[in-house]
Structure 1
Amino acid sequence: MSGNITPSQEQVLLQLLGKVMEIMRDDRPFSPEDPAFGKLKSSYVIKPGEAGIHYSFANSAFPDAKVDLSMWTDPLDYSDDRTRVQAVPAYFELWFHNALAGISRRLLEQRLDLASYWVDEKGVREEGNDMGVGPPPDNLLHSYWYRANDGENGRFPVDIELFFLDPAPNDPSGKVRLDAITISRVYPYLTPAMRKKKREEQNQKKPQTYGYMELCTGATCPESGTVWKSIALKG
């Protein structure tokens, strides 16, 4: 059973999604105490020995909804010791146990500033957003995929998925209902071996970036923690 979204619920929903977009796209700080998410219900470490944390919230405007945000160990930090790497926002999911009618897909596209295309795992741009309905028994679940526009303060690419339930053939209301929304920051996939290669490439570039400096042998670079070698400058 589903109900019509109320004006107050719509306001809460748009405020929540706007906050998530700022966090994911613009790299605004995230706090699990932010009232836009609701009340923190639980949290747990995603992977032992790393910084990633999964948060679940209870939102009074949608008491039956699943409201989750996951922080991952920063994929763009190539450090070998993952226990010293910070956690960064990665994935948000809002799933309505009772799908809501009366929320316009066009309104969500406009307010979240979504592009008319999506990007696949290989980085290839695919035009259009309508992915159609799923196979039985999910033949009423209609999905739409998007890449968000960069925005004025955008620092990261963001992917969004909207899931609606199409009306059943015997549904007299004929209403489309919002079922779920996912918002994810796009990070490159890196294995430990790939991180090691990136780390080595980064270290090789440092002399070019900072220039050759006459430092005492054994001095430690304050940024990388590596030991500098004494280099004689040419006159």
Structure 2
Amino acid sequence: MSDDIAPSQERALLRLLDKVMEVMRDDRPINPDDPDLGNLKSAEHFVPGEAGIEYSFRNRAFPDATVELTTWTDPLDYSDDRTRVQAVPAYFELAFRNALAGVSRRLLEQRLDLANYWVDADGLRKESNDIGHSLPPFAREHRYRYRANAGEHGRFPVDVEFFFIDPAPDDRSRKARLDQITITRDYPYLTPAMRKKKREEQNQKKRQTYGYMDLCTGAKCPESGTVWKSIALKG
């Protein structure tokens, strides 16, 4: 029995990745009931006091695979009260229990519109996509890393990584097997102290933009959004 990916599985894989890229890159709303993602298995808050949810799906085309789409509390919202911040897409993982042979890496690159470079944690561009092999005992695991092209509707930088298992020396097929795909939005890492600094910078910019208005104008405060009201002072 061949363990190559079937044509129906390839179509399902491409539909799944198309939908994930629409969410991650184009900022389309997440629809947990979308059949291209699979059947929703669970949706759990995983960080107390945060808005993030981890969605887990059961995809009929890949019954033994892990399919997870994770949202986080929006890192670009600098509010101090994180319970009132919305969740945004952050991470997707497709991991096969039994790696699939016959998946074309070139087809995946073209379908997801991936660039021929990747970006490291310091924001530096790295040419080529071949990261090489993992360390033992996973020495045949071959990693490829990409920055997705923005495309016509792209709103967020997105990083994609493929994990293939190279064939064993005695494998006559000489076919690499797809083991895992991860897709990640490239959000900045911010500590509470860093968020506080960002809030202060935002407020300073608002003051510079709007100026120090007369408090009795009836206009909206550029920081809080509330309307300033006249106050009658007693003599």
TM-score, with structure 1 as normaliser: 0.91
Residue 157 of structure 2: aligned partner: 157
User: SS of the counterpart of 1:26?
Assistant: coil
Larger displacement relative to structure 2 (42-51 or 121-130):
42-51
Q: CA deviation at 1:44?
A: 1.3
Alignment-derived partner of residue 224 in structure 1: 224
**Structure 2: how far apart are the matches of 1:67 and 1:224?**
41
In 2 relative to 1, CA 202–174 (structure 1 residues): closer, same or farther, beyond 3 Å?
A: same
Give the match for residue 47 of structure 2.
47
Shift of 1:210: 3.7
Amino acid at match of 2:129: N
Pairwise CA RMSD of aligned residues? 2.2
* CA distance in structure 1 between the partners assigned to 2:223 and 2:33 by the alignment: 32
Aligned residue for 1:69, secondary structure, equals strand
Q: Which residue of 2 aligns with 1:233?
A: none
Q: Distance between the aligned counterparts of 1:68 and 1:60, measured in 2?
A: 14
User: Which residue in the other structure is 2:137 paired with?
Assistant: 137
Given that residues 2 and 98 in structure 1 are in contact (C-alpha distance below 8 angstroms), is that contact kept between their aligned partners in structure 2? no
Residue 2 of structure 1 contacts residue 99 of structure 1 at CA under 8 Å; is this kept in 2?
A: no
Give the deviation of 1:219 after TM superposition.
7.6
The equivalent residue for 1:98 is 98
Mind listing any 5+ residue stretches in structure 1 that lack a counterpart? Answer: 231-235
What is the aligned partner in structure 1 of residue 14 from structure 2? 14
Query: Where does the alignment leave 5 or more consecutive residues of structure 2 unmatched?
Result: 231-235
Partner residue in 1 for 2:166: 166
Aligned residues: 230
Structure 1 residues 140 and 34, CA gap change in structure 2 (3 angstroms):
same
Cα-to-partner distance string for 1:127-183 (whole Å, 9 max, x where unaligned): 011011112110111000000011111110000000101000111222111110000
**CA 1:97–1:154 in 2, change beyond 3 Å: closer, same or farther?**
same
Mapped pair 1:89 → 2:89: yes
Question: Quick check: 1:58 aligned with 2:58?
Answer: yes
Aligned to 1:205: 205
Larger CA deviation: 33-42 vs 66-75: 33-42
Partner of 2:112: 112
Looking at structure 2, the residues matched to 221 and 33 of structure 1 have their Cα atoms a distance apart, in angstroms, of 41
Cα deviation code 1:167-208 (max 9, x no counterpart): 001112221111100000000110000000000111111133
> Hey, what's the Cα distance between the residues in 2 that align with 1:229 and 1:132?
64
CA distance in 1, matches of 2:94, 2:121: 22
Aligned to 2:233: none
Q: Distance in 2 between matches of 1:186 and 1:29?
A: 18
Please state if 1:71 is matched with 2:79.
no
Matched, 1:179 2:179: yes
* Contact 2:74/2:86, CA 8 A, preserved across alignment: yes
SS at match of 1:20: helix
Report sequence identity in percent: 74
Cα distance in 2 for residues equivalent to 1:227 and 1:191: 31
SS where residue 25 of structure 2 aligns?
helix
CA distance in 1, matches of 2:55, 2:137: 30
